[in-house]
Amino acid sequence: MRRITKLRTPIHFDSWAAVGGYEERRGPLGEKFDFCDISDKFGQSTWEIAEAEMGRVALNTALSKSGMSHDRIELLVAGDLQNQCVASSTGLSSFGIPFLGVYGACSTCTESLMTLCSFIDSSEHMTIGAAVTTSHNSAAERQFRTPIEYGGQRAPTAQWTSTAAGAFILGRGEGEVQITEYMPGRIVDGSTSDGANMGGAMAFAAFDSLQAYFEESGEEIRNFDCIVTGDLGKVGSDILRELLAKSISGAERIHTDCGLLLYDFKKQDVHSGASGCGTSASVLACHFLPMLKEGKIRNILFMSTGALMSPSSLLQGENIYGIAPLIRIENMKGSE
């Protein structure tokens, strides 16, 4: 079965924005964010509504950078980690843009970009769409684990959910930076039900996608500048690199993970690294897309990685399942 779709219609990144909170500002990418609120509150009274506001700020910032009004956007694809994805739906409702909610846990950024590409390609009249992904540390902590005030001890394999958002405006037609291929991920059993080791659980899904991609495409590793995963963190990245070294030799050397890039492991107490779907969304927006635009890198595989589970499913003894949808992003200008 073929799984990779090469986009017939060229689709480019028109603009993008990264928004973060306190820890994101303190991290090594802090100055690259378009906007950070070090109170993490974005002027709102609850963490949940703060996350919704963060998504609005991200979309408005991307719109502002593109010089476009929101009523040009024909479809908005968005998702987050809150139950029933309310940060996206209630948060972005005021724009009045036709909306599609997706849920892929921390794979949401890639899933939403891929879905938007397929709609732009399929719909003859659609020329501009937006994708927004958010996560908020304090909203996630009390929903998935315990309220922060409880002071629960975190395991060394645990990750730090980022307070971060990424917004992307995609346009039909050629541009400097384009999405050229996509490949939906398969659901892969992470072989653990340890909710404090989601990076480890997701590594197998990332490997499954890469194996399928290189087998089907026949591409060589040297054609890529990096292979980017979403939020495997230290534990998951180590597992993935070990698997890659054995079967897709060379891939392990160009692998990098957004969960390893967002924070400073010496200064910030983030254990195995960053997680949350805002991680890959914001790192794509503030780090990889600018590098692609400037031609510092020219060709990447980008896979946000999702841990498909719920607090209830873990209590009921289910394993964590991983998923890693993949897109290929390229700088389309000839080499200089």
Q: Measured from the CB of residue 11, what is the shortest distance to a second copy in angstroms?
A: 10
Q: Which is nearer to a second copy, 297 or 320 (CB)?
A: 320
Task: Pick left, alpha or beta for residue 173 (phi over 0 → left; psi -120 to 50 → alpha; otherwise beta).
Answer: left
Site string for a second copy, 172-211 (x = CB under 8 A): -----------xxxxxxx----------------------
Per DSSP, the residues of 216-241 read HH---GGG-SEEEESS-HHHHHHHHH
- From CA 51, how far away is CA 57, in angstroms rounded? 10
Residues 6+ apart with CB under 8 A from 118: 5, 182
Q: Looking at 28, 60, 65, 86, which residue binds a second copy (CB under 8 A)?
A: 86
The residue range among 112-120, 150-158, 195-203, 295-303 that interacts with a second copy, by the rule CB under 8 A, is 112-120
Q: Judged by CB under 8 A, does residue 49 bind a second copy?
A: yes
**Which residue in the set 25, 26, 68, 89 belongs to the binding site for a second copy (CB under 8 A)?**
89
- The residues near 77 (Cβ < 8 Å, ≥ 6 apart) are 99, 100, 101, 102, 112, 113, 115, 116, 119, 129, 130, 131, 132
Residue 149 touches a second copy, criterion: CB under 8 A: no
Q: Which is nearer to a second copy, 15 or 115 (CB)?
A: 115
Alpha-carbon span 261 to 235, nearest angstrom: 14
Q: Which of 126, 232, 261, 283 binds a second copy (CB under 8 A)?
A: 126
Judged by CB under 8 A, the stretch of 6-14, 58-66, 218-226, 242-250 that binds a second copy is 6-14
Nearer to a second copy, 31 or 124 (CB): 124
Kindly tell me the sign of the dihedral angle through the C-alpha atoms of 65, 14, 102, 238.
Answer: negative
The values of phi and psi at residue 335, to 5°, are -65, 140
Which helix (H) or strand (E) segment is 18 a member of? strand 5-20
Contact 231, 199 (CB under 8 A): yes
CB of 96 to a second copy, least distance (A): 6
Piece of 101-109, 155-163, 195-203, 273-281 that binds a second copy (CB under 8 A): 101-109
Which residues are CB-contacts of 216 (< 8 A; sequence separation ≥ 6)? 2, 3, 4
Q: Which range in 46-54, 161-169, 223-231, 266-274 contacts a second copy by CB under 8 A?
A: 46-54
Q: Which one-letter amino acid corresponds to residue 193?
A: S
Strand order of the β-sheet with 306-308 is 188-189, 321-323, 306-308
Stretch that binds a second copy, among 35-43, 124-132, 236-244, 264-272 (CB under 8 A): 124-132
Of residues 17 and 97, the one with the C-beta less far from a second copy: 97
Q: What angle do CA 153, 159, 163 make, to 5 degrees?
A: 105
102 touches a second copy by CB under 8 A? yes
Looking at 29-37, 74-82, 231-239, 282-290, which segment touches a second copy (CB under 8 A)? 74-82
82 binds a second copy (CB under 8 A): yes
Is 33 or 162 the residue whose CB approaches a second copy more closely? Answer: 162
Member of 100, 196, 221, 254 binding a second copy (CB under 8 A): 100
Report the Cα 90 to chain-centroid distance in Å: 20
Contact between 86 and 52 under an 8 Å Cβ cutoff? The reply is yes
Q: Which of 218, 178, 216 is nearest to 298 (CA)?
A: 178
- The one among 38, 39, 98, 147 contacting a second copy by CB under 8 A: 98
Residue linked to tokens 């409702």:
93
From first CA to last CA, the distance across the chain in angstroms is 38
Interface with a second copy by CB under 8 A: which residues?
Answer: 1-3, 5-8, 46, 48-49, 71, 74-75, 79, 81-86, 89-90, 92-93, 96-105, 111, 115, 117-119, 121-126, 143, 183-189, 308-313, 316, 318-319, 321, 323, 325
